[in-house]
Chain A
Amino acid sequence: AQSVTQLDSHVSVSEGTPVLLRCNYSSSYSPSLFWYVQHPNKGLQLLLKYTSAATLVKGINGFEAEFKKSETSFHLTKPSAHMSDAAEYFCVVSPLVGYTGKLIFGQGTTLQVKP
């Protein structure tokens, strides 16, 4: 069975400081892992994905995430936060084998960026 836990429901940073959004997963298979972002009144947009290639994955808008199998983690980072990064972030896991779209979404982390 697969599950995903986002360790912080709310993260607040100052503009220009690093961002760390934490995600732990559980999967019986070699998983695919995703980070999505949702800005207010918008749909979800894919930030980046891991599908068993390089463990350090680079995404859009300067975000990256590192897959650590030993820690079952897939934390999202950005060196310097921008005001436009304020949004809801979702960590998502899916089984790589027999994928049928049954993604498991985390509860979400709200990122607040202070000027």
Chain B
Amino acid sequence: ETGVTQTPRHLVMGMTNKKSLKCEQHLGHNAMYWYKQSAKKPLELMFVYNFKEQTENNSVPSRFSPECPNSSHLFLHLHTLQPEDSALYLCASSQNRGGSSGGGELFFGEGSRLTVL
């Protein structure tokens, strides 16, 4: 079993649907992240949670709604999406030590491939 598991791996939805992406990490980490990976563009950080608290919202539209019920689980709720939201959504986790002892690496899931029709 991989350290970070994402479901579903593939999702096709219409613009009026509501769906959710799920991420679970089995590494005992204290931080979780959502990234968006679109073709020909660098990875875009969407949200960061440290100890279940959201510490970063990178100007993400409100049609994306994250939820972090505990340090091991992270959801991304989707509603009224646009075709340009089609992308690979990657979840990651890390053990952040903060302060001057940073440099922790991210552990990624395999991603959820989203297609919005």
Chain A residues near B (Cβ < 8 Å): 32, 34, 36, 41-46, 49, 51-52, 90, 94-103, 105-108
A44 is contacted by which of B41, B100, B106 (Cβ under 8 Å)? B106
- Residue ID in chain A nearest B48 by CB atoms: A101
Most buried by B among A36, A43, A106: A43
Cβ contacts B32-62/A at 8 Å (1 or 0 each): 0100000001110100101000011000000
Q: Are the CB atoms of B110 and A43 closer together than 8 Å?
A: yes
State A32–B98 Cα separation when bound (angstroms): 13
Give the residues in chain B near A105, CB-CB below 8 Å.
42-43
Count of A-B contacts judged by CB separation below 8 Å: 77
Known pairs A34-B105, A41-B113, A43-B110. 6 more at Cβ < 8 A? A51-B103, A98-B99, A99-B97, A99-B103, A100-B98, A106-B42
Most buried by A among B48, B50, B56, B108: B108
Q: Are the CB atoms of B43 and A90 closer together than 8 Å?
A: yes
Q: A44-B90, A101-B33, A102-B56 are in contact. Are A94 and B103 (CB under 8 A)?
A: yes
Q: Are the CB atoms of A103 and B103 closer together than 8 Å?
A: no
Q: Are the CB atoms of A49 and B105 closer together than 8 Å?
A: yes
Q: Are the CB atoms of A100 and B103 closer together than 8 Å?
A: no
B110 is contacted by which of A42, A49, A96 (Cβ under 8 Å)? A42
A95 is contacted by which of B31, B55, B56, B102 (Cβ under 8 Å)? B102
B74 on the A face (CB < 8 A): no
Give the residues in chain A near B100, CB-CB below 8 Å.
96-98
